[in-house]
């Protein structure tokens, strides 16, 4: 089994780096990778900040919702890896890849909103 590439312990960052350095990456995908890297960093910072909050007052439902959101983040990482595998093996056109990458990046950008407190 081949180890998945990681950057600073992040499979997602490793995959985004591979996309960035791929010979046939479109300029649109390069822009999306940049947004994805920024979004992943924000998710990491917000998650780390959330770990320092007192969660003793949360209900069981609120705690389960937080777990579901962490699972969602893992699912986004898996989706990105699957998408990248399809592109590398020419199962997707560049245009289809860019559209799917945009969807993943937009969901990644929106992900930490549930943790940000006004």
Spell out the domain ranges in the chain. 11-114
**Across the chain, what does the average pLDDT equal?**
85
How many angstroms separate the CA atoms of 34 and 13, rounded? 10
Confidence of residue 46 (pLDDT cuts 50, 70, 90): confident
Question: Per-residue pLDDT averaged across 30-53, rounded?
Answer: 84
Q: What is the pLDDT of residue 63?
A: 72
**Is residue 7 pLDDT above 80, yes or no?**
no
Contacts of 55 (CB under 8 A, 6+ apart): 63
């Amino acid at each position: 089994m081949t180890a998945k590439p990681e950057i600073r312990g992040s499979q997602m960052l490793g995959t985004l780096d591979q996309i960035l350095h791929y010979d046939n990456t479109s300029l649109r995908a390069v822009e999306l990778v940049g947004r994805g890297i920024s979004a992943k960093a924000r998710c990491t910072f917000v998650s780390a900040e959330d770990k320092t909050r007192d969660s003793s007052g949360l209900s069981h439902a609120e705690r389960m919702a937080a777990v579901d959101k962490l699972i969602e983040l893992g699912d986004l990482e898996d989706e990105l890896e699957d998408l990248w595998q399809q592109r590398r093996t020419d199962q997707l056109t560049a245009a289809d890849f860019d559209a799917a990458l945009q969807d993943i990046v937009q969901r990644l950008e929106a992900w930490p909103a549930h943790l940000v407190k006004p």
